Amino acid sequence: MKKYFNKFIAYIITMLESEDSDFNKLGEEILRKISFMQHERLIHLIVLSLFAILFFICLTAFFISSNNGMLAASVLMLALLIPYIKHYYFLENNVQKLYSLYDEVKVKSADNK
């Protein structure tokens, strides 16, 4: 996903620097990719929330019961939660970057008319 995102952003930047680009078509392409990425972001938010809830449930169960199995489950949930947070942070920042690139494309599109 990171390679895909970085490659697409580099493509947009290259097209923005080129004066003979079709900015209307580029804007439509960015909007299509934004909708895909928003879907991806939503799915990851749901999974991230689920793991966070499960982590706190396991941690609370450990404190109530002092069961070492619940502590192990909490550690495993935390081990999965950290990469999910990192990946969601990446998705969120890059979707925001796509928004700003889309705004630049719309300005260029209006300038070429």
**Per the domain annotation, does 18 fall within a domain?**
no
**Per the domain annotation, does 22 fall within a domain?**
no
> What is the pLDDT at residue 111?
73
**Per the domain annotation, does 92 fall within a domain?**
yes
User: Which position has the token pair 């939660």?
Assistant: 81
Is pTM beyond 0.85? Reply is no
Separation of alpha carbons 37 and 30, rounded Å: 10
**Per the domain annotation, does 46 fall within a domain?**
yes
Q: What is the DSSP letter of 19?
A: T
Q: What is the DSSP letter of 22?
A: -
**Per the domain annotation, does 77 fall within a domain?**
yes
Structure confidence at residue 112 as a pLDDT band (50, 70, 90): low
Separation of alpha carbons 58 and 66, rounded Å: 11
**Residue numbers of the domain that contains 86:** 2-8+36-111
Number of domains the chain contains: 1
**Per the domain annotation, does 40 fall within a domain?**
yes
Evaluate whether 101 touches 16 at the Cβ level (below 8 Å).
Answer: yes
**Per the domain annotation, does 23 fall within a domain?**
no
71: its two tokens: 């502590």
Structure confidence at residue 81 as a pLDDT band (50, 70, 90): very high
How crowded is the C-beta side of 110, counted as CA atoms within 13 Å? 5
